[in-house]
Structure 1
């Protein structure tokens, strides 16, 4: 695993979380980052560190295709632990309210029974739940995780949630709940500095680029780790040792790598983000949000949210 660069604060917080959990003082932490900022590497690192503490590690990686499936994220986390009786808790979504209005009531009694499943497991050792791309989690799973977060005090259970900033969507139940609890730390990952870019590429390539070539790569990617992954692959495919890559070669490699990788990163956001970025690239310069919104055929409010995603990503 390539060492995480410029993520000392995040690793410090994760270590503190594990220390609290092992001591029986459960807590939660949320990590926010734009697409490609490397937040996915943190759950993997947290899992490795938790296992060294002899903790039970439960992981889920949410995706848009399962966002409408009730209990999808919870099933990823707990399926292997649930008895046949416990699985019955997940067989249905919320029940209709008794007045026949058709609205759906949250199954709080099921929330608590699932919480008790974790408590039983924690008697055998600390438990750490890691949820990546939590903004894609289904509503019931988000609400259960929020329920869990409010009941961690005094139990050896920890919760680490990674989500994406500037998706152009409203906050989900889980993000809202964690934001309302000031005792839970919130981490925001930023793009890498120029030195961080050089160190990251050196780690991936096994050799350092010349400083001028590394500076070109930083300028082309904004220090976004996801784009740097694509650049490292392009450099490796040339067969040229990294120290011999000239700035001109680096510029060409970066252009091609970014053209391949950027649409994939943008597509992880809401459609408004992709539309906004496309218009910005096409126009070259945008004088105001109304023009941007009109050209992208989206609401001004959506454009205002969406434009922050490329900015956050560097």
Structure 2
């Protein structure tokens, strides 16, 4: 666990370790968004438990096969009775749980037994049902189950349903983002140790990281003296890591917000742009907010937006820019707002569009920009008029119309 994690998670860590004290039979659920230190805390629990008994650890992955997590837990065991539990086929989760529970109770006679499961929100249902049987039936043997899960989603409820959660042996612990004061304390200590970062940089580093320890560590690993993340550097890679581990909907929402840039974003507009509509958009925003990538409805830090764009594959980004432009046009947004993602296509080096609807949008937006330029020129705002005329010409070239509409 990094020093940044300790700054905000000390109380949670102490509570988790106390709950997992040797000789007790408990279940502990560690909840938190990506980057907040769940895995590090789980490793700390495993290290402590290994000093007084047996530890079985596994991390769930996406697309788990039936009993996949349980197989991973048991694969590293030196106990033949445990490693051979899943050799038979066609066994139900209840039968497997009963057999596992029996073996763990026997093992508990020689010392405490701790099962550590990371990313339990990805775990297969059969493994969760078998582990739930252990939770219900292992007492009074000293068998502890510690699971780490993402703050969003409720897949873990197959392990800890409502009636189990009410049990006094179940503890839920929540990791949170660093508060500004905690970030400042850590940055000040880091500056004193290295001499590289002025303490006054703490506020800027907190805004960039959103209080996420993983992103803060990434910033400190690169040119944090100027607080400007480098392209392809640790910060950009850190944002990509958070997006991948926040789920497909949250990742798509982050890409959409980045394409929208500084344009005001309301729930109706975002619901139009996110597959699944408002319910999916709300869940996605909550997931992004939990890991520090959102402030309110959307972060407007250029470095965060740039990192989110860098995470989007070029073909997907092209389609997304066009989709955003069409949606803004339908919503009767100003021509400059509609033009922004279209001009970004040109900056990306995209070739002329082939779809008729896209060509029509480009041509219409070019005409709208030219009309806006004419109005600005009549008001004597020459520089702004010139800028819009240049943008209008760029869009005409992109659609293949080499005779752009000139403002009168």
After TM superposition, the score normalised by the length of structure 2 is 0.63
Following TM superposition, by how much is the alpha carbon of 1:279 offset from its aligned partner in structure 2, in angstroms? Answer: 1.6
1:60 aligns to 2:62 (yes or no):
no
- Does structure 2 conserve the Cα–Cα contact (< 8 Å) formed by 1:30 and 1:178? no
User: Matched residues in 1 for 2:213 and 2:8: separation?
Assistant: 11
| Residues 1:107 and 1:47: Cα distance change in structure 2 (over 3 Å) | closer
**For residue 100 of structure 1, what is the aligned residue in structure 2?**
none
Pairing partner for 2:178 from 192, 202, 209:
192
Range 40-49 or range 26-35, more displaced: 40-49
Pairing partner for 1:269 from 246, 252, 260:
246
Range 226-235 or range 155-164, more displaced: 226-235
Structure 2 counterparts to residues 219-298 of structure 1, below 5 A = 219-235=207-223, 245=225, 249-252=226-229, 257-283=234-260, 284-285=262-263, 287-298=265-276
User: Matched residues in 2 for 1:293 and 1:178: separation?
Assistant: 35
Following TM superposition, by how much is the alpha carbon of 1:33 offset from its aligned partner in structure 2, in angstroms? Answer: 0.5
Pairing partner for 1:217 from 180, 205, 208:
205
Range 124-133 or range 76-85, more displaced: 76-85
Following TM superposition, by how much is the alpha carbon of 1:149 offset from its aligned partner in structure 2, in angstroms? Answer: 1.8
- Does structure 1 conserve the Cα–Cα contact (< 8 Å) formed by 2:74 and 2:83? no
User: Matched residues in 1 for 2:190 and 2:58: separation?
Assistant: 26
- Does structure 1 conserve the Cα–Cα contact (< 8 Å) formed by 2:109 and 2:141? no
Structure 2 counterparts to residues 145-184 of structure 1, below 5 A = 145-167=131-153, 172-176=157-161, 180-183=165-168, 184=170
- Does structure 2 conserve the Cα–Cα contact (< 8 Å) formed by 1:55 and 1:127? yes
Following TM superposition, by how much is the alpha carbon of 1:80 offset from its aligned partner in structure 2, in angstroms? Answer: 3.4
| Residues 1:187 and 1:285: Cα distance change in structure 2 (over 3 Å) | farther
Pairing partner for 2:67 from 57, 66, 71:
71
**Structure 2 SS opposite 1:90:** coil
Deviations 1:86-137 (A, max 9, x none): 5554246656xxxxxxxxxx43122100111211211111111111111111
| Residues 1:136 and 1:122: Cα distance change in structure 2 (over 3 Å) | same
User: Matched residues in 2 for 1:134 and 1:118: separation?
Assistant: 20
Deviations 1:256-292 (A, max 9, x none): 6433321221111221111111222222355433321
- Does structure 1 conserve the Cα–Cα contact (< 8 Å) formed by 2:252 and 2:274? yes
Deviations 1:151-183 (A, max 9, x none): 34322111111000125x755512536863342
Uncovered stretches (5+) of structure 2, i.e. residues with no partner: 293-408
**For residue 142 of structure 1, what is the aligned residue in structure 2?**
128
**Structure 2 SS opposite 1:6:** helix
**For residue 384 of structure 2, what is the aligned residue in structure 1?**
none
CA RMSD of aligned residues (A): 2.8
Following TM superposition, by how much is the alpha carbon of 1:297 offset from its aligned partner in structure 2, in angstroms? Answer: 2.6
Which one has the largest radius of gyration?
2
- Does structure 2 conserve the Cα–Cα contact (< 8 Å) formed by 1:273 and 1:309? yes
Q: Taking CA–CA contacts closer than 8 Å with sequence separation of 6 or more, which of the two structures ends up with the larger relative contact order?
A: 1
- Does structure 1 conserve the Cα–Cα contact (< 8 Å) formed by 2:215 and 2:238? yes
Alignment coverage as a number of residue pairs: 286
**Structure 1 SS opposite 2:145:** strand
1:124 aligns to 2:139 (yes or no):
no
Deviations 1:41-68 (A, max 9, x none): 101111222233x22121111111xx33
| Residues 1:177 and 1:68: Cα distance change in structure 2 (over 3 Å) | farther
After TM superposition, the score normalised by the length of structure 1 is 0.80
User: Matched residues in 2 for 1:129 and 1:85: separation?
Assistant: 16
User: Matched residues in 1 for 2:130 and 2:33: separation?
Assistant: 25
- Does structure 1 conserve the Cα–Cα contact (< 8 Å) formed by 2:212 and 2:291? yes
- Does structure 2 conserve the Cα–Cα contact (< 8 Å) formed by 1:130 and 1:161? yes
